Amino acid sequence: MTERADFPVNRGALCGKGRTAPAVLSSRVRLTSPLVRSGGTLVPATWDEALDRIAGALGGIRAEHGPDALGVFGGGGLTNEKAYALGKFARVVLGTSQIDYNGRFCMSSAAAGGIKAFGLDRGMPFPLEDIPRTGCVILVGSNLAETMPPSLRFFSELRENGGTLIVVDPRRTKTAEQADLHLMPRPGTDLALALGLLHLVVAEGRVDEEYVRERTSGWEEARAAAMAHWPEHVERITGVSVPQLRETVRMFCEPEAAMVLTARGPEQQSKGTDTVGAWINLCLATGRAGRPLSGYGCLTGQGNGQGGREHGQKADQLPGYRKLDDPAARRHVAGVWGVDPDSLPGPGRSAYELLDAMGTEIRSLLLMASNPVVSAPRAAHVEDRLGSLDFLAVCDVVLSETAALADVVLPVTQWAEETGTTTSLEGRVLLRRRAITPPEGVRSDLEVLHELAARLGVEKGFPTDPEEVFDELRRASAGGPADYSGITYRRLAEENGVFWPCPAPVGEATTTVGDDGEDTGLDVFPEDPARDDADAVRPDAVTPDAVHPGTPRLFLDRFATDDGRARFVPVSHRPAAEEPDAEYPVLLTTGRVVAQYQSGAQTRRVEELNAAAPGPFVELHPRLAARLGAAEGDPLAVVSRRGRAVAPARITSGIRPDTVFMPFHWPGEGRANTLTNPALDPTSRMPEFKVCAVRVEIAGS
Ligand SMILES: Nc1nc2c(c(=O)[nH]1)N[C@H]1C(S)=C(S)[C@@H](COP(=O)(O)OP(=O)(O)OC[C@H]3O[C@@H](n4cnc5c(=O)[nH]c(N)nc54)[C@H](O)[C@@H]3O)O[C@H]1N2
Ligand SMILES: Nc1nc2c(c(=O)[nH]1)N[C@H]1C(S)=C(S)[C@@H](COP(=O)(O)OP(=O)(O)OC[C@H]3O[C@@H](n4cnc5c(=O)[nH]c(N)nc54)[C@H](O)[C@@H]3O)O[C@H]1N2
Ligand SMILES: [Mo]
């Protein structure tokens, strides 16, 4: 793999997972033949047999139980093209409303918070390159030293330039070690923390009154809510001392510009949306949004965490970040798809709710790019529900724990083996050309969808060429919040990515480029009447008459709300869905280590990474260990209301004494998600991965 030193997102650096990715690709463990279940075991089959079996099963279940008995589950690792095609497949071919994806477990709270406040969700409204030039960054619940190692340099540069870094994390992580100030709140209390900071901002007269007046709405209510959160009260809830709260406010407010960046820590809570709202309120009250080098951003997760949430694999969404229940959006997208708007189903269940309905309302699942047996909350229950389906089909690169339960497994190509676009956390659309030849026997997800559609009676509309899919995606997104219509493969090849929104010049026909780089002469935008009635807000609502340069920085003139003002959200603190009690006295939080990726389906199959991170562990404070009589390496049983997991003790003073931490990368006995609580955020439907109550004991004693 080659590294590009000039590339702005990672500046040529690749983290350990990136460097070892080719090992995954060439590995013996790669699936290269379809598998079908026969007499209880998975046996190799031809592609035709496997595809026929899936189409037959889905068609049969639909005839018997109706289209909403067919579930579809996608992933934020899919390219934009594949995510788009999967959403279209569900609605047009299967006719089901029951589609969602693993991004629901990832950035959904930040997305919901951003839409409420700014009218738009783009992870970061500015490029990462702005970070070194701001004055202060509060990093809330991100361990980017392990989860986005190449980005760490932006924060080192920030500090070299005289800026300060504040990290909010119940653990002293590698990231927290870089900080000028480390706040260690009790898990699940970030909402109170942000409210306490806002209280002090008001009390100390640090509100940017002019900004609040001119660029926001809803301040009075939000102010009143924050004033109810006295610093001393917040100290009691969070464990962060009043002097530390004051120091945070001083560091954040004194420089001319500052940022708040959140990641999964505060977001993966049953109040994640409100928590994000509270941090945004802090930015708005201090005039730190929609101004140069200032703003709120969410640090993205998966390979295509941003693009994967824009083009319709979400339960309530149509391409271009349109709403499925918006009549104008339905008309527009149905026009592009050549179907009757009334034939499009409405919004479906969110990821966990969909998985939970398996075996009852949901009779079959088509799953692409996720491994919920390991990664879903209350995983033993999800595993049981998967087992109760009439039919499960999984497309994967390896035989994941979930694929191993399937009736049919299809082996697919992955990133370096196929061309496609992804969108970075900054909204930068990137083109990745196929770099290596896929192993014999595998097909792309696009080919799978094409073949299944044909077998289910839809011959057209599911091309296998990614560029053709992208050109349709452009049309479907035109006029929507995430407008890609002015972005072409040709531009992406020439430029260092293009930031959406990037509308196409109106009236000017754009042409597609064939594989050989020649103009095919096809009009991508024949007069499209539906473009006019899209009423979604386009942030920089200018209609370019020439090539649009893309939008690296959003909100500088106005926010994407109807009146152009950012909206304060009045929020109050509330406890986690499950608080410690006599029976379950300890808090469990979960997360990641640098050498493993997600459910580990791929990284656990790479020797170098396994050597670095061979298995699960329970991180705990020496005081808690002493109370249990546990020594380093002792097997600990962690028990919650959902189940029991066992893993060796890892004792460190870098964690709160009331909290234990487990990484979630492993199946089996040490599976952290056996324990986690599927309590959902009412808006984002995000499960509470980051807080639940447990009891810890020495296993086997
Ligand atoms: N090596 C590696 N890198 C990855 C991934 C991976 O699996 N492995 N996954 C990718 C994906 S999809 C994602 S989403 C990102 C995630 O990236 P991060 O969000 O950085 O990852 P996490 O480890 O889940 O959580 C971050 C931190 O939140 C802290 N935390 C726990 N509870 C709380 C709380 O209540 N409040 C606060 N403030 N903090 C809390 C944890 O201690 C942890 O250090 O990483 C991406 N990069
Ligand atoms: N306890 C706890 N649980 C968590 C989290 C947490 O912090 N704590 N974090 C949550 C988050 S943020 C996330 S993003 C999820 C992630 O968890 P999962 O959704 O399980 O994600 P992966 O492990 O990346 O699974 C991706 C699967 O798709 C396969 N794959 C890769 N590329 C392709 C492709 O192009 N096509 C197809 N068809 N398959 C492909 C891989 O081999 C792998 O089996 O976990 C969530 N679960
Ligand atoms: Mo994620």
Residue 151 CB less than 6 A away from ligand 1? no
Residue nearest to atom 35 of ligand 1 (CA): 187
Is 80 exceeded by the pLDDT of residue 534?
no
Which pLDDT band holds residue 559 (cuts at 50, 70, 90)? Answer: very high
Reading the block at residue 601, the tokens are 């389906």
- Cα of first residue to Cα of last residue in the chain, in angstroms, is 49
Give bridge partners of residue 423 from the DSSP assignment: 429
Which pLDDT band holds residue 25 (cuts at 50, 70, 90)? Answer: low
Distance CA 288, CA 544 (A): 29
What is the length of the chain? Answer: 701
Distance CA 436, CA 620 (A): 43
Nearest to residue 482, comparing CAs of 263, 685, 275, 304? 304
Nearest to residue 191, comparing CAs of 111, 284, 278, 299? 278
Residue of 29, 169, 267, 370 best suited for mutating to test ligand 2, as the one with most atoms within 8 Å of CB:
370
- Cβ neighbour number for residue 376 with a 10 Å cutoff: 29
Residue nearest to atom 42 of ligand 2 (CA): 397
Identify the three-state secondary structure at position 157: helix
Among 400-414, 456-470, 526-540, the least confident range: 526-540
Task: Report which bound ligand comes closest to the CA of 587.
Answer: 1
Distance CA 128, CA 299 (A): 10
Taking residues 483-494, report their average pLDDT.
96
- Cβ neighbour number for residue 213 with a 10 Å cutoff: 10
The residue written with tokens 């898990």 in the block is 187
Is 60 exceeded by the pLDDT of residue 516?
no
Cβ-based burial of 46 (10 A; exposed 0-12, middle 13-18, buried ≥19):
exposed
Distance 507 CA to ligand 1 centre (A): 45
pLDDT the model gives residue 9: 52
Is 70 exceeded by the pLDDT of residue 680?
yes
What is the position in ligand 2's atom list of the atom closest to the CA of 106? 12
Q: Which helix or strand (DSSP H or E) is residue 651 part of?
A: strand 643-651
User: Do residues 47 and 274 touch, judged by C-beta distance below 8 A?
Assistant: no
Among 22-31, 154-163, 319-328, 473-482, the least confident range: 22-31
Identify the three-state secondary structure at position 375: helix
Distance 143 CA to ligand 3 centre (A): 13
CA distances from 295 to 286, 428, 441, 575, 666 (A): 10, 17, 47, 27, 36
pLDDT the model gives residue 530: 37
Reading the block at residue 607, the tokens are 């020797």
pLDDT the model gives residue 511: 37
CA dihedral 54, 56, 59, 64 (to 10 degrees): -110
- Whole-number percent of the chain with pLDDT over 90: 86
Task: Report which bound ligand comes closest to the CA of 169.
Answer: 1
Is 80 exceeded by the pLDDT of residue 531?
no
Distance 299 CA to ligand 3 centre (A): 10
pLDDT the model gives residue 63: 98
Distance 60 CA to ligand 3 centre (A): 34
pLDDT the model gives residue 62: 98
Work out the mean pLDDT of the chain and round it to a whole number. Answer: 92
Cα 421–chain centre separation? 16
Taking residues 492-513, report their average pLDDT.
76
pLDDT per position as a tens digit, 13-23: 444 445 445 45
pLDDT the model gives residue 28: 76
Q: Where are the alpha helices (DSSP H) in 388-487?
A: 445-455, 466-477
Distance CA 193, CA 168 (A): 10
Q: Where are the alpha helices (DSSP H) in 512-664?
A: 607-612, 622-628
Contacts with 426 (C-beta within 8 Å, 6 or more apart), sequence order: 9, 122, 123, 124, 126, 127, 128, 499, 552
pLDDT the model gives residue 423: 96
Distance CA 492, CA 426 (A): 15
Task: Give 488-491 contacts, CB < 8 A, sequence gap 24+.
Answer: 488/512, 488/513, 489/421, 489/431, 489/513
Nearest to residue 265, comparing CAs of 196, 128, 171? 171
pLDDT per position as a tens digit, 636-663: 999 999 999 999 999 999 999 999 999 9
Identify the three-state secondary structure at position 169: coil
Distance 357 CA to ligand 1 centre (A): 28
Asked if residue 501 has a cis previous peptide bond (ω within 30° of 0), the answer is: yes
Residue 149 CB less than 6 A away from ligand 1? no
Task: Report which bound ligand comes closest to the CA of 187.
Answer: 1
pLDDT the model gives residue 197: 98
pLDDT the model gives residue 514: 35
Residue 591 CB less than 6 A away from ligand 1? yes
What is the chain's percent helix, strand, coil content, to nearest 5? 35, 20, 45
Give bridge partners of residue 615 from the DSSP assignment: none
Distance 229 CA to ligand 2 centre (A): 37
The residue written with tokens 């959200």 in the block is 569
Residue nearest to atom 21 of ligand 2 (CA): 370
Taking residues 150-163, report their average pLDDT.
97
Distance 161 CA to ligand 2 centre (A): 37
Distance CA 457, CA 325 (A): 26
Is 60 exceeded by the pLDDT of residue 496?
yes
Residue 455 CB less than 6 A away from ligand 1? no
Range among 26-30, 531-535, 686-690 with highest mean pLDDT value: 686-690
Amino acid identity, residue 609? L
Taking residues 456-477, report their average pLDDT.
98
Is 50 exceeded by the pLDDT of residue 672?
yes
Residue 409 CB less than 6 A away from ligand 2? no
Sign of CA dihedral 562, 568, 570, 573: positive
Identify the three-state secondary structure at position 396: strand
What is the position in ligand 2's atom list of the atom closest to the CA of 394? 38
- Whole-number percent of the chain with pLDDT over 70: 90
Surrounding residues of ion ligand 3, Cβ less than 5 A:
106, 301
Residue nearest to atom 3 of ligand 1 (CA): 147
pLDDT the model gives residue 135: 98
Is 70 exceeded by the pLDDT of residue 528?
no
Task: Report which bound ligand comes closest to the CA of 299.
Answer: 1
Q: Where are the alpha helices (DSSP H) in 376-465?
A: 379-387, 445-455
Query: What burial letters (b/e) apply to 108-133, b meaning 16+ CB within 10 Å?
Result: bbbbbbbbbbbbbbbbbbbbbebbbe
The residue written with tokens 């392990």 in the block is 146
Residue 370 CB less than 6 A away from ligand 2? yes
Residue 96 CB less than 6 A away from ligand 2? no
Task: Report which bound ligand comes closest to the CA of 599.
Answer: 2
Distance 262 CA to ligand 1 centre (A): 10
pLDDT the model gives residue 701: 58
Distance 137 CA to ligand 2 centre (A): 29
Residue 576 CB less than 6 A away from ligand 2? no
Query: What burial letters (b/e) apply to 415-429, b meaning 16+ CB within 10 Å?
Result: bbbbbbbbbbbbbbb
Distance 82 CA to ligand 3 centre (A): 18
Taking residues 619-627, report their average pLDDT.
98
Cα 473–chain centre separation? 20
pTM to 2 decimal places: 0.93
User: Do residues 496 and 513 touch, judged by C-beta distance below 8 A?
Assistant: no
Is 90 exceeded by the pLDDT of residue 300?
no
Distance CA 191, CA 202 (A): 17
Amino acid identity, residue 573? H
Which pLDDT band holds residue 301 (cuts at 50, 70, 90)? Answer: confident
In 556-642, which ranges are E strands? 566-567, 586-591, 618-620, 635-640
pLDDT the model gives residue 231: 98
Distance CA 394, CA 408 (A): 6
Distance 393 CA to ligand 3 centre (A): 23
pLDDT per position as a tens digit, 391-411: 999 999 999 999 999 999 999
Supply the DSSP symbol for 291: B
Please calculate the CA angle 326-332-338 and round it to the nearest 5 degrees. 125
pLDDT the model gives residue 541: 41
